[in-house]
Amino acid sequence: MISLAGRDIMHAWGKFVFTGMGLGLLIGITLSMAGIYRGMVDDAKVLLDNSSADLWVVQKDTLGPYAEPSSIYDDTWRSIRGMPGVARTANVTYLTMQVRQGERDVRTMVTGVTAGESGTPGWPPYLVAGRQITRGHYEAVADIASGFALGDRLQIRRNHYTVVGLTRRMVSSGGDPMVFIPLKDAQEAQFLKDNDAIHQQQRRTAANPAFNRPQVPGLLDAVIASQSINPYVNAVLVQIESGHRAEDVAESIRRWKRLTVYTRSQMEEILVGKLIATAAKQIFMFLVILSVVSSAIVAFIIYTLTLGKIREIAVLKLIGTKNRTIVALIMQQSIALGVIGFVVGKITATLLMAPIFPKYVLLEPLDSIIGFFAVMVICILASIIAIRAALKVDPAEAIGG
């Protein structure tokens, strides 16, 4: 038996290919949406992976340092370092802000890292060009996605930094490229006020009789001095000694230091389950809408193609064609349309759409396989209306009168 669907497609291949391409663009957008979600999750995991930390010690009862603001004293690391099971500790600050370079500015996550050596928690684990930060001030390592190049001069708040190294896939959970600078500079960028504000504050403090008592010389100077230092960081990153369980060490820090501590799995839950949850729901809704629109388009196309063949279907039924042959004709065409659409969509998503999105788009093979089967199911379901119309055709319609 010949394939009626195949013959019909070959006869009107242009119509099928162009319709399939239109559907393919929709499928491409759908796959890209899934890729954007995967990219967000991957960005979140990359952020955790690249911090080289086993534990995140943050301000008590906060979801910091990524999902909520967190401030802890910058000498907290010393007491944590001395606890059993702790191999290394490092202060870290994170601040998402615009970084200027010449005439342009780029949204980045400025990360303050402790001086040390490669492998220190918070440091970029590898570079693609240049070197790590070696000076205590005004050097930066930037993610290549920021567009900065070695030797570029960056302006962060009122200070200038020279890019000495470039790294790759170091991004915030929101996909912003990271710029690493020395911790002291980052603290200043995050907590220090501008000169006018400092001057204002000093004047107000001096005008306050509680701080400017004639009988207590030196009090005002002490208060002003305390206002000009910035003893805070966002978190302490902790590496665990081998042989110790992260949860045990975390529990010990929680108990003795009265700080909140997250393990890797808890931090992943915060990032994926809370920080990007709304965006993920948004993308899921887009996926649902796109799937419904794709279904409606396939249904409409197949229904229209079937209506155009009503007389032929009546003749086929009159001359003894089985219903299942007619069902196969319509369903195979619908599936063929889906296959063309999927191939076009996959190519479009991979080669055209993913590279132009500003954020990371991760097209997982498993998503493509699921997408393919989803498209097949959609096409089969979408052909039902057309099949019903075809099966209702009375073979008597082929006979005039």
Partner 1 sequence: MMGKGILIEGLKKRYGSGDTAVDALKGVNMQVAPGEVVGLVGPSGSGKSTLLKALGAVIEPTGGRMTLGGEVIYDNGWKVKDLRALRRDKIGFIFQAPYLIPFLDVTDNVALLPMLAGIPNAEARKRAVELFKALDVEPRAKAMPSQLSGGEQQRVAIARGLVNRPPVILADEPTAPLDSERALAVIRMLNDMARKFETAIIVVTHDEKIIPTFKRIYHIRDGVTYEEAGEGRSFD
- Residues 348-387, one symbol each (x = binds partner 1 by CB under 8 A, - = not), give ----------------------------------------
Question: Which lies closer to partner 1 via its Cβ, residue 154 or residue 313?
Answer: 313
Determine the interface stretch with partner 1 among 21-29, 147-155, 169-177, 319-327 (rule: CB under 8 A).
319-327
CB of 307 to partner 1, least distance (A): 15
CA distance 152 to 161: 8
CA 362, 367, 373 angle in degrees (round to 5)?
A: 155
Give residues with Cβ within 8 angstroms of 221, minimum separation 6: none
CA distance 265 to 262: 8
Helices (H), ranges, 51-182: 76-81
Total binding residues for partner 1 by CB under 8 A? 26
8 Å CB contact between 156 and 181 = yes
Element (H, E) at 106: strand 104-113
Question: Which lies closer to partner 1 via its Cβ, residue 210 or residue 319?
Answer: 319
- Residues 278-317, one symbol each (x = binds partner 1 by CB under 8 A, - = not), give ---------------------------------xx--xxx
8 Å CB contact between 216 and 30 = no
| Residue from 82, 209, 243, 401 binding partner 1 (CB under 8 A) | 401
- Tell which residue, 110, 112, 109, has the closest CA to residue 123: 112
When computed from its CA atoms, the radius of gyration of the chain, rounded to whole angstroms, is: 31
Determine the interface stretch with partner 1 among 72-80, 285-293, 360-368, 391-399 (rule: CB under 8 A).
391-399
Residue 395 interacting with partner 1 (CB under 8 A): yes
- Residues 1-20, one symbol each (x = binds partner 1 by CB under 8 A, - = not), give xx-x--xx-xxx--------
Determine the interface stretch with partner 1 among 148-156, 231-239, 318-326, 382-390 (rule: CB under 8 A).
318-326
Question: Which lies closer to partner 1 via its Cβ, residue 2 or residue 210?
Answer: 2
Give residues with Cβ within 8 angstroms of 71, minimum separation 6: 59, 232, 233, 234
Could you list the residues that contact partner 1 (CB under 8 A)?
1-2, 4, 7-8, 10-12, 311-312, 315-322, 325, 394-396, 398-401
